[in-house]
């Protein structure tokens, strides 16, 4: 029984590599396949300032092109109209293939896929976690419902919850 539970709770992630293969930056759209209707910000810094200005939470998606778990999550993320609409209307959105300098975006390590929220007071919402005890900020394609409910949580300011 216990073993079954453990198997259920495993999530596929790709470990963060210290140095990934150097690629030249291509003039790709900022969506990188996560939804072309969403207005993606270009940098984490821009995301933070837009979050303050708009008072909408910032959703930070870490992913890699060569990570099959990232690709699978991306597919589910794009396929779900509810999540696309919320992302478009109620969030400042960024997807990153490179890590930022902000260690707060890696409360339990560097891996992908990894999703964190930053509220308009610029607090990284480390309290908003997915289903996996070993990787709190990882999501699998079947976790879209969890992600939607976490997006709703992210819209509630932390100090209002305490
Ligand atoms: C999005 O995903 C949720 C949770 O799995 C599901 O209930 C909903 O029907 C999906 N919506 C669309 C439009 O695909």
The number of the ligand 1 atom at minimal distance from the alpha carbon of 81 is: 13
Which domains are present in the chain?
A: 27-161 (3.40.30.10)
Instruction: Using the mean position of ligand 1's atoms as its centre, give its distance from the Cα of residue 64 in Å.
Output: 24
pLDDT digits (tens, 9 = 90+) for 16-55: 855 555 555 444 579 999 999 999 999 999 999 999 999 9
CA of 148 to the centre of ligand 1 (A): 9
Mutate to test the pocket of ligand 1, among 86, 144, 146, 152 (most ligand atoms within 8 A of CB): 144
State the DSSP H helix or E strand holding residue 112, giving kind and residue range, or none if neither: strand 111-112
Measured distance CA(36)–CA(154) in Å, rounded: 22
pLDDT the model gives residue 26: 46
Nearest CA to ligand 1 atom 4: 145
Which residues approach ligand 1 with their CB closer than 6 A?
A: 80-82, 144-145, 148
pLDDT, residue 162, reads 46
CA gap 121, 25 in Å, rounded: 32
What is the pLDDT at residue 29?
A: 75
What pLDDT is attached to residue 11? 86
The pTM of this model reads 0.85
Residue written as tokens 């490179």? 98
Three-state secondary structure call for residue 43:
coil
Q: What does DSSP assign to residue 144?
A: H
Low-confidence stretches of the chain (pLDDT beneath 70): 1-8, 17-28, 158-162
Look at residues 58, 67, 136, 72 and name the one whose alpha carbon lies nearest to residue 100: 58
Closest atom of ligand 1 to 83 CA is 1
Cα–Cα distance measured from residue 112 to residue 61, given in angstroms and rounded to the nearest whole number: 9
- Report the alpha-carbon distance of residue 65 to residue 111 in Å, rounded: 13
- The predicted structure's pLDDT at residue 25: 44
């Amino acid at each position: 029984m216990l073993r079954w539970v453990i198997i259920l709770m495993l999530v596929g992630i790709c470990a963060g590599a210290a140095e990934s293969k150097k690629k030249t930056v291509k003039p790709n759209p900022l969506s990188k396949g996560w939804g072309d209707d969403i207005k993606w910000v270009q940098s984490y810094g821009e995301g933070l300032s837009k979050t303050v200005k708009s008072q909408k939470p910032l959703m930070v998606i870490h992913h890699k092109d060569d990570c099959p778990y990232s690709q699978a999550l991306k597919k589910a993320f794009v396929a779900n109209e509810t999540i696309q609409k919320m992302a478009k209307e109620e969030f400042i959105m960024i997807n990153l293939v490179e890590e930022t300098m902000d260690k707060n975006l890696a409360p339990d390590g560097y891996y992908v896929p990894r999703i964190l929220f930053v509220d308009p007071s610029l607090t990284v919402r480390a309290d908003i976690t997915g289903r996996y005890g070993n990787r709190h900020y990882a999501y699998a394609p079947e976790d879209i419902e969890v992600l939607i409910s976490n997006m709703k949580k992210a819209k509630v300011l932390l100090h209002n919850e305490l």
